[in-house]
Copies of this chain bind each other. A is one copy, B any other.
């Protein structure tokens, strides 16, 4: 007893190790999304083509990690009978993982905007501060998520929507500057900035959505609906 492959104690301990892998996988995804946003923000600020390429190329890793997470969760649902908190983890890990992967996509879109205008800077001088701040807020949200998931801290996760409010304020400020009559009225710039603003806004929205899933896993309370921007 206690040594066989089908020993119930070992089977349970493998199950718990697998649940930890689900948590670990979510932390990894959040960290990857954070790093992608930090780098995309720098690539945009400095018109740094090599860094932009790194973010764009790195997105495949997030996609692969999300697929690994789905397979792991699917396998656990198929072979175990998870209940209560474990079941919440397994069911909410799927949309949380999808949200984190999407955050990586959006960081890659920002990097693509930097690449598209290289060697020019995609962002006109008067908007650089605002866009850089949006990037910093986005990266911080992803960092908070990674920490909240890693330490299973529902309170920290519950604080993520406040960061999204900061993003909305910056987003409005961005449009005010973009529409100021004094500035250069190039259509390409208006298109680039509208879309860049959208990518940052959606990154933050996804962070809020993931944070709500994490709160649900940890507390069992259904998250309030997303704001759907």
Q: Tell me the complex Cα distance, A178–B98, Å.
A: 33
B228 engages A63 (CB within 8 Å): yes
A179 engages B185 (CB within 8 Å): no
Q: Which of chain B's residues have a CB closer than 8 A to the CB of A1? A: none
Q: Tell me the complex Cα distance, A145–B87, Å.
A: 29
Q: Tell me the complex Cα distance, A59–B227, Å.
A: 11
Q: Which of B59, B178, B225 contacts A228 (CB 8 A)?
A: B59
In the assembled complex, 13 residue pairs joining A and B whose CB atoms fall closer than 8 Å, in A order, are: A63-B225, A77-B77, A77-B87, A91-B94, A95-B98, A178-B187, A178-B191, A179-B191, A190-B191, A191-B191, A191-B194, A194-B194, A198-B198
- 14 extra interface residue pairs, beta carbon distance < 8 Å, beyond A175-B191, A187-B190, A190-B191: A59-B228, A67-B225, A74-B91, A77-B82, A91-B94, A95-B95, A98-B98, A108-B228, A179-B188, A185-B185, A185-B187, A190-B190, A191-B191, A194-B194
Give me the interface of A with B, judged by CB distance under 8 Å: 59, 63, 67, 73-74, 77-78, 81-83, 87, 90-91, 94-95, 98, 105, 108, 175, 178-179, 185, 187-188, 190-191, 194-195, 198, 222, 225, 228
